[in-house]
Amino acid sequence: MRRTLCIVSISALALSACSRMPGETASRGPSFPPPPATPRIQFLASYSSSRDVTRKRSGFAKMVFGSAAKNDAINKPYGLAIYRGIIYACDTKRNLINIFDVPGERFGYLGTMGPGKLKKPINITIDADGTRFVADAGRGDIVMFNKNDDYLGSFGAAELERPVDIAVNDSLAFVCDAATNEVVVFRKHYRRYAYRFGGNGTKAGKFARPTNIALDRDGNVYVSDTINGRVQKLDRTGKPIQTFGRLGVSYGEFARPKGIALDHENRLYTVDAAFENVQIFDPSGQLLMFFGGAGTDPGQLTLPASVVIDYTSIPFFEKLARDFKVEYLVLVSSQYGPNKISVYAFGQPTGAGADNEETAR
Among 341, 343, 290, CA closest to 314 = 343
Q: What is the dihedral of CA 135, 141, 146, 150, to 10 degrees?
A: -110
- The string of pLDDT tens digits covering residues 44-57 is 999 999 999 986 54
pLDDT at 57: 46
Domains of the chain, by residue range, sit at 5-355
As its CATH architecture, domain 5-355 has 6 Propeller (2.120)
Nearest to 292 by CA among 312, 267, 274, 316: 274
Mean pLDDT, rounded, of the chain? 88
Task: Determine the straight-line distance between the first and last CA of the chain, rounded to whole angstroms.
Answer: 20
Reported as a single tens digit per residue, the pLDDT across 323-332 is 999 999 999 9
Is the pLDDT confidence value at 359 over 70?
no
pTM metric for this prediction: 0.89
Can you give the pLDDT at residue 352? 61
- Residue 1, beta-bridge partner list: none
Instruction: Give the pLDDT score at 351.
Output: 75
pLDDT for 361: 31
Q: In the chain, what is the greatest distance between 2 CA atoms, to the nearest angstrom?
A: 66
Alpha-helical runs (H) found in the chain: 59-65
What whole-number percentage of the chain has pLDDT above 90?
81
Query: What's the CA gap between 361 and 349, in Å, rounded?
Result: 22
Confidence of residue 65 (pLDDT cuts 50, 70, 90): very low
- How do residues 175-231 score in pLDDT, each as one tens digit? 999 999 999 999 999 999 999 999 999 999 999 999 999 999 999 999 999 999 999
pLDDT digits (tens, 9 = 90+) for 106-159: 999 999 999 999 999 999 999 999 999 999 999 999 999 999 999 999 999 999
> What share of the chain has pLDDT > 70, as a percent?
85
The CA distance from 344 to 317, in Å, is 9
* pLDDT on residue 134: 98
Distance CA 339, CA 223 (A): 26
- Per-residue pLDDT, 14: 38
Confidence at residue 241, expressed as pLDDT on a 0 to 100 scale:
98
Nearest to 156 by CA among 169, 175, 172, 170: 175
